[in-house]
Structure formats: structure tokens, C-alpha cells
Amino acid sequence: MMKPYTWYVILGLLSVPVDLQAQPPVIDPRLKAEIQPTLNRELEGWLDPSRIDSSVTCYAEHAFRVLGNWSGISADWGLAGRLDRRCLKEYHETYKGHLLTVRRYVIQRLEERDGVVMALMRLFGSQKSLTTNKEQHVDGRRFIFLSKIDKQWKIVGVIDYLPKDSKEP
């Protein structure tokens, strides 16, 4: 009998089979402790405009960001561009009238291969309009790719997506 698989298509180029019966991989606590400060500092720049300067030190010179909206089995993807000070400032300018709160984030998967680390994060929080007081639940996923550059972990790429109609477990 064949194992049940779900196929995720990333950027329309890469299909990844996921064994639904497999146990989640064990996360190496040493590696998690090494990259956690970089992930925390980077997230602070998205939440607080006064932390942008600290946050951009997490990015490699040519770091990139891809955005997607997930709906069932189809996804709309787009290259958002470079991860840098301008990217964070544009984000804060766009959402100036909103308060983004991340209550917690969980590293669901952490893999290291050939000096590159892939961290799959799940963020739980809310985004509140300061003008209408309307609050929207946020359940986001981030694939963050890191590499050691000059003996420091730097973010070289991020794939962000926000599943539609998802709920916090």
C-alpha cells in the first residue's frame, strides 16, 4: 500500500512530497540556540519601526523575499524583492494605520545541509486597524534560509505566506 502524500508546489517550480504519516523531524537544540537570536532580531524589525536598523543586520547582502497567499491547493506567489532597510520601511509605511502583534512563533522544522539552514516558522498573532478597530487573526508561515557569513548567521532568503481561513491550533 502506498503512503499518503501531499504535494506542495513552491513558486510553480519545485514539488515537494510530504509523508503525512512520518514523525516530525527532531530539532537540534544547539542549532536552534545558534539561530534564535537572528530570528528574534529580524522579527522585531517587522513589528517595531524603531528596530529596523537592528533588524537589517540579520540580512545577507543579496537577501530576497517571496510572498504568497495560500488557498487550498493553489497559491499566488510573487517576488517581493530584496530584504533590506527599504523593504522594512515600505512595509511600515503601507501598514502605518495598523498594529501587528505576534503572540508567539514556533519553529516547526529546522534543517542544516552544506552550511545552509532552513527554518520553517509559524507565527500567531493579530493585525488591528487603528482607525476602524477591526482586528484580523494572523496565522503566517515563513521559510527562512540562513547561511553563516563571517562567522555570523545571516538570512539569505525568506518565503512568507499567509494561509486563507486558517485557525490557530
List domains and CATH numbers for the chain: 27-163 (3.10.450.50)
Q: How confident is the model at residue 144 (pLDDT cuts 50, 70, 90)?
A: very high
The three three-digit cell numbers of residue 38, written as one number = 537572528
CA distances from 132 to 71, 91, 97, 117, 136 (A): 26, 20, 10, 40, 12
Residue 29 is inside which H or E element, if any? Answer: helix 29-47
Q: How confident is the model at residue 149 (pLDDT cuts 50, 70, 90)?
A: very high
Spatial separation of the C-alpha atoms in residues 137 and 126, rounded to whole Å? 5
pTM listed for this prediction? 0.76
Question: Of 159, 70, 167, nearest to 124 (Cα)?
Answer: 167
Q: How confident is the model at residue 34 (pLDDT cuts 50, 70, 90)?
A: very high
Bridge partners of 111, per DSSP, are 118
Top-ranked range on mean pLDDT: pick from 4-13, 64-73, 127-136, 156-165: 127-136
Model confidence over 63-92: pLDDT tens digits? 998 877 654 445 566 667 888 899 888 888
126 versus 21: the higher-pLDDT residue is 126
